[in-house]
């Protein structure tokens, strides 16, 4: 089983990334004193989305989640087989995120479930 980062480490990394974004945007603004509001937004939006995607991904997946092993298929009622954690891309207004969640598959009807239902 892989090691998970502590809450303090995740917080420090996020704050450092936010600070770096601030420095980059302030430097860009200093280099572009005549920039319009829309031009500023064009610089800010992708930076903000990247930062928020990181936070969104951390909030969406809890590292201490336990795999669900006693699930049954909603289509046929057969028991689901755990297939381990798999990554999935999720698009949101706040950014594009890759999350890793437990994945299960029904061997009877070949349906997959990501993430498993509680």
pLDDT tens string 45-68:
999 999 998 888 888 765 555 555
Q: Are the C-beta atoms of residues 48 and 74 closer than 8 Å to each other? A: no
Q: pLDDT grade, residue 117 (50/70/90)?
A: very low
Q: How far apart (Å, rounded) are the C-alpha atoms in residues 116 and 118?
A: 6
54 shares its domain with 2: yes
Domain endpoint, select from 26, 60, 94: 60
Conformational region of residue 77, where left means phi above 0, alpha means psi within -120 to 50, and beta covers everything else: left
Domains contained in the chain, number:
2
Instruction: Please tell me the predicted confidence (pLDDT) of residue 64.
Output: 54
Together in a domain, 70 and 101: yes
pTM, full prediction: 0.61
Q: Does 53 share its domain with 82?
A: no
Q: Is the same domain home to 70 and 55?
A: no
Residues 42 and 81 in one domain: no
Based on its alpha-carbon atoms, the radius of gyration of the chain, rounded to whole angstroms, reads 20
Q: Which of 115, 83, 113 is nearest to 99 (CA)?
A: 115
Same domain membership, residue 56 and residue 1 = yes
Res 43 pLDDT > 50: yes
Domain that holds residue 111: 66-118
Do 45 and 83 reside in the same domain of the chain?
no
């Amino acid at each position: 089983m892989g090691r998970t980062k502590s809450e303090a480490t995740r917080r420090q990394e996020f704050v450092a990334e936010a600070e770096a974004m601030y420095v980059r945007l302030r430097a860009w603004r200093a280099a572009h004193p005549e920039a319009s509001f829309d031009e500023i937004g064009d610089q800010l939006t992708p930076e903000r989305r990247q930062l928020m995607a990181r936070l969104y991904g951390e909030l969406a997946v809890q590292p201490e989640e336990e795999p669900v092993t006693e699930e049954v298929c909603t289509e046929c009622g057969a028991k689901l087989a755990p297939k381990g954690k798999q990554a999935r891309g999720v698009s949101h207004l706040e950014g594009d995120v890759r999350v890793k969640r437990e994945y299960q598959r029904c061997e009877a009807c070949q349906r997959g479930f990501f993430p498993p239902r509680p």
